[in-house]
Amino acid sequence: MKKNILLLTTFFLSFLIVNKSHANEDNCKNIIQQSWDKYRNITSEYEKADILILYDDDRKEEKEIVRWTLFDSLGNDKILTKFIKPIRDNGLALLIWRNEHGDDDQWLKLPSMKQARRISISDESKYFAGTDITYEDSRQLTGERVDDFSYRSLGNNTEYSIIEAEPKPGIESAYRKRIIYINNSNYAISKIEYFNSNNEISKIQNHDKIIILETGAWRIDYLEIINFETKRKTIITITHREINTDINSNVFSKLNLENQSK
């Protein structure tokens, strides 16, 4: 009898612990989902940004980009990024089609070539155009697919929820894990710590100026990426933004990528 009670108690306690960890993960996943739902609370976006890259040896590089984003309710988003400056990068462009049920599509147009070329999405960890933004980061500009990651709470304070995200088995990612700091009041992501395959911190992304748009969507007007592996810092300042404008879907075509139009 005593043995049965002990077994039942053990079973019940185990059930509670497992359930609690699932509840914990579901809760974290919900927080992440809510954060990205708020972020995506617009239909289109046009941005201009200045990029400053600072090296350890005091060198610096300045770039300027223009970016168009089309948010799709089913997750089939489209992002076009074109470099304006420096002169060498003028004409460099990256087009991404996110596919909710299937692999994403990516095309790259180099300044020296007339044609845009399809590129592999498996190049997640490759840095784009000499910045500290990887191709994976570029794809996730419209949000991450929460079903691809496992989430765990690392604690909360009055200001932030701190959540660890790890890619699930079978999901390719440039990062072993990320630690995400989400503002409890507006669900904006304030900071992300990225870890490499050796579980060492690779880079930290600080969102120093967060604004809330009229639709309730959060945006970052100034962000800083400190990369410990490349020993450099990338600072991105948004200089112009328009939302919910009528961006023709033709903008997000391979042919438009090849156009020399401004």
Q: 42 CB contacts (<8 Å, ≥6 apart)?
A: 71, 213, 215, 217, 243, 244
Say if CB 217 and CB 39 are below 8 A apart. Answer: yes
Q: Which of 36, 57, 199, 226 lies closest to 131 in space, CA to CA?
A: 226
Minimum CB distance to other proteins smaller for 167 or for 210: 167
Q: Is residue 229 within the footprint of other proteins (CB under 8 A)?
A: yes
**Shortest distance (Å) from residue 65 CB to other proteins:** 15
Q: Is residue 198 within the footprint of other proteins (CB under 8 A)?
A: no
C-alpha–C-alpha distance, residues 63 and 132, integer Å? 13
Q: Is residue 230 within the footprint of other proteins (CB under 8 A)?
A: yes
Say if CB 216 and CB 41 are below 8 A apart. Answer: yes
Minimum CB distance to other proteins smaller for 9 or for 248: 248
Q: Is residue 261 within the footprint of other proteins (CB under 8 A)?
A: yes
Q: Which of 262, 261, 242, 259 lies closest to 68 in space, CA to CA?
A: 242
Alpha helices (H) along the chain: 2-39, 135-139, 254-258
Q: Is residue 226 within the footprint of other proteins (CB under 8 A)?
A: no
**Shortest distance (Å) from residue 179 CB to other proteins:** 20
**Range 104-133, binding other proteins (CB under 8 A):** 105, 113-115, 117-123, 125-127, 130
**Shortest distance (Å) from residue 210 CB to other proteins:** 29
The tokens of 91 are what? 């004409």
Q: Is residue 249 within the footprint of other proteins (CB under 8 A)?
A: yes
Measured CA to CA in angstroms, residue 221 lies from 14, 50, 78, 123, 185 at distances of 46, 11, 21, 27, 18
**Shortest distance (Å) from residue 103 CB to other proteins:** 6
**Range 3-62, binding other proteins (CB under 8 A):** 61
Q: Is residue 199 within the footprint of other proteins (CB under 8 A)?
A: no
Q: Which of 29, 39, 41 lies closest to 146 in space, CA to CA?
A: 29
Which of the ranges 98-106, 176-184, 185-193, 215-223 carries the binding residues for other proteins, by CB under 8 A?
98-106
Name the residues that contact other proteins, by CB under 8 A: 61, 86-88, 90, 99, 102-103, 105, 113-115, 117-123, 125-127, 130, 229-230, 232, 248-250, 253-256, 259-262
